[in-house]
Amino acid sequence: MVKHTRMNLETYLFNPPFASLPIEKIANEKLRHGLRFASSVLTAGLAAATGGGKNAKEDDTFVVLSTWVPYLFVNPSDPICSEYVGYFEHREKMESMGAGKIGRLATKHSIGSTVRGKDCEAGHLIPCAYLSINLSPSQSFKEAHGIHQWWRQICSLSTNCFSTIKSFFLHCPN
């Protein structure tokens, strides 16, 4: 909807799926960061080699979506949606270590969309989001992925606004 009409609907997504391996579940932080960094370098390299860095359609889609800031509610114990935490935090790490250009190019693409061709868009394009993370312990997958966790009166939350393109297009709205 946002992409086609350029209308930004206020959006609340509870436990949305992230189509990726759940790297966030790896206990070793250095290994998680290394895997994400290697994936970003590979994705950016493939995008650059296939001309994806100059694809106006994908760049336009990314810019259009950058004005949409959905509210994402995720639980780090849920392997279906927990990768959103790592996805947004990794983009900030790439910027802070001076690899922001690689991170931004990788964010606009996926290995699959780059290999499939110019007419295929990356399915993970969420440049910005208000991310609410449920830090309350979950006893099972059903509890970690269930909608009922968000109805509890006592819930330990961490919230942050992430913008993968803060430096050049948008600052998260207040």
In a domain, 146, yes or no: yes
pLDDT of residue 167: 44
| Residue 34 predicted with pLDDT over 80 | yes
In a domain, 168, yes or no: no
Structure tokens at 72: 């994402």
In a domain, 87, yes or no: yes
pLDDT of residue 92: 87
Mean local confidence (pLDDT), 146-157 = 91
List of residues 6+ apart from 152 with CB closer than 8 A:
136
The kind and range of the H/E element at 83 are: helix 83-96
Mean local confidence (pLDDT), 157-169 = 70
Full domain range(s) for residue 45: 2-163
pLDDT digits (tens, 9 = 90+) for 80-130: 999 999 888 898 889 899 998 898 888 887 766 666 655 555 556 788 899
In a domain, 102, yes or no: yes
In a domain, 154, yes or no: yes
- What is the DSSP code (8-state) at residue 119? T
- Entry pTM: 0.80
In a domain, 16, yes or no: yes
pLDDT digits (tens, 9 = 90+) for 62-75: 777 888 899 999 99
In a domain, 172, yes or no: no
User: How many domains does the chain fold into?
Assistant: 1
List of residues 6+ apart from 102 with CB closer than 8 A:
40, 41, 44, 94
Whether 22 and 83 have beta carbons less than 8 Å apart is answered as: yes
In a domain, 155, yes or no: yes
Query: CA angle, corner 73, sides to 173 and 97, nearest 5?
Result: 65
pLDDT of residue 165: 54
| Residue 8 predicted with pLDDT over 90 | no
pLDDT of residue 63: 75
